[in-house]
Amino acid sequence: MSTAADSNNSSGTTLIKREVRVTFWGVRGSLPTPQTPEAIRGRLREALTGFAESGASHADAYLESLPISAVGGYGGDTACVEVERVGGNLADDRLIIDCGSGLRRLGGKIMSGPCGRGQGKVHILLTHFHWDHLVGLPFFSPIFIPGNEVNFYAVQPDLSQNIQAMFRKPFFPVAFEELRSTVRFHQLEPRQTFKIGAFDVTPYQLDHPDPCWGYRIEFETPKARRAYAHAVDSECTRISEFDLGEDVKLYRQADLLLFDAQYTLQEAAEHMNWGHSAAPVGLDLALREGVKCIRFAHHDPGASDAKIADAERQTRAYMEALGSFAKQNARIQPDVDWRFAHDGDSILLD
Ligand SMILES: [Zn+2]
Ligand SMILES: [Zn+2]
């Protein structure tokens, strides 16, 4: 076990400012949720019928006009987010948050670079150790390649033993000791900023049944200093500035916030202490803290695409009600760009 300071870019050179792309490789909560053939057939039937009735001549343009719930759906891979400096070619230009099943596909992408030649370096920040945030790790190709270096970071002191437990018979055929890459563990200090390349990373506590830490990641783009706030998994039981204390800094003026919206407001009330929240809670927080853009994730594994689309409609109605209320009281409602994220969704912070 080493400290986070070991991993700092020690070259002392000034890094070029780059745009940063945040990509959501897995936005489903709790359990990978593949689409059933029945659900795909139903969606195809509706799309084909709609296409025929629309009189449109180009299928691609027609499909583009449909909401995500009517085409590909929100996706079924669990928690994994990539934060990447666009066009960067340094090992420290990419951070990964959590190892849900979405990590398998991200690993495939990474293998097309230095990791495929055994010359890569990977940084993985972990929020907590629930299965849906770890299940992709045994299928992360770079960790099996000799010459690669895989760095894990977490606040929790049992980081190394929990990762090693993922590679143990009879649960997985390859033992941790047999991994061919060099694996390093870095224990983080709560609310202490540390550097990975051009990223300044600070862990803040979330509200979840087992200790869970979100991350604020700040960086310089050609236009400005930007911040990505990762706040999944969290029930967000602490909302007021007083209750949040130091952890309010996770959200403050963030350019992009990923927020836990496993439930609707009513479902959240029925699932108190389950550790997950609802989109309107995130919007209230975002409006108060000056967040510019918010994406909602950790969709319930039991929720169909239609059900998630309905939660999105409820959220829109909530936003409209807030807007009307502000207007009646001669207040200006701040603009916030929001939507429910789907697997593969990405946002460029320029
Ligand atoms: Zn989770
Ligand atoms: Zn969890």
Protein fold of 16-35+72-341: Metallo-beta-lactamase; Chain A (3.60.15)
DSSP type of residue 180? -
Answer yes or no: pTM beyond 0.85.
yes
Dihedral (CA of 10, 12, 15, 20) sign: positive
Q: Which ligand is nearest to the CA of 130?
A: 2
Q: Residue 2: pLDDT band by 50, 70, 90 thresholds? A: very low
Contacts with 200 (C-beta within 8 Å, 6 or more apart), sequence order: 193, 194, 217, 218, 219
Q: Residue 6: pLDDT band by 50, 70, 90 thresholds? A: very low
Q: What is the pLDDT of residues 288-301, one digit of tens each?
A: 999 999 999 999 99
Q: How many helices (H) and strands (E) does the chain have?
A: 8, 15
Q: Which ligand is nearest to the CA of 260?
A: 1
CB 36 within 8 A of CB 116: no
Taking the centre of ligand 2 as the mean of its atom positions, its distance from the CA of residue 66, in whole angstroms, is: 32
CB 102 within 8 A of CB 26: yes
Percent of the chain with pLDDT over 90: 89
Give me the mean pLDDT over the 52-80 stretch: 93
Question: Is 77 a residue whose pLDDT tops 80?
Answer: yes
Structural domain spans, the chain: 16-35+72-341
Question: Is 187 a residue whose pLDDT tops 50?
Answer: yes
Taking the centre of ligand 2 as the mean of its atom positions, its distance from the CA of residue 111, in whole angstroms, is: 28
Q: Residue 89: pLDDT band by 50, 70, 90 thresholds? A: confident
Taking the centre of ligand 2 as the mean of its atom positions, its distance from the CA of residue 128, in whole angstroms, is: 7
**8/49: higher pLDDT:** 49
Average pLDDT over all residues of the chain: 94
Q: What is the pLDDT of residues 153-173, one digit of tens each?
A: 999 999 999 999 999 999 999
Q: Identify the three-state secondary structure at position 81.
A: strand
Sheet holding 80-85, edge to edge: 2-3, 182-187, 149-154, 121-125, 94-97, 80-85, 20-26, 346-349
Q: Which ligand is nearest to the CA of 274?
A: 2
Question: Is 7 a residue whose pLDDT tops 50?
Answer: no
Q: Which amino acid is at 130?
A: H
Q: How far separated are the first and last CA of the chain, in Å rounded?
A: 35
- Asked whether the bond before 233 is cis by omega within 30 degrees of 0, the reply is yes
Among 85-94, 164-173, 204-213, which stretch is predicted with the lowest mean pLDDT? 85-94
Taking the centre of ligand 2 as the mean of its atom positions, its distance from the CA of residue 227, in whole angstroms, is: 23
Q: Which ligand is nearest to the CA of 275?
A: 2
Taking the centre of ligand 2 as the mean of its atom positions, its distance from the CA of residue 233, in whole angstroms, is: 5
Q: Which ligand is nearest to the CA of 207?
A: 2
Taking the centre of ligand 1 as the mean of its atom positions, its distance from the CA of residue 343, in whole angstroms, is: 15
State residue 13's pLDDT score.
60
Give me the mean pLDDT over the 307-313 stretch: 96
State residue 12's pLDDT score.
52
Give me the mean pLDDT over the 167-182 stretch: 97
State residue 5's pLDDT score.
37
Helix ranges (H only) for the chain are 37-54, 59-65, 103-110, 159-165, 241-244, 265-270, 279-289, 305-328
d(C-alpha 336, C-alpha 198), whole Å: 27
Q: Which ligand is nearest to the CA of 29?
A: 1
State residue 10's pLDDT score.
44
CB 79 within 8 A of CB 298: yes
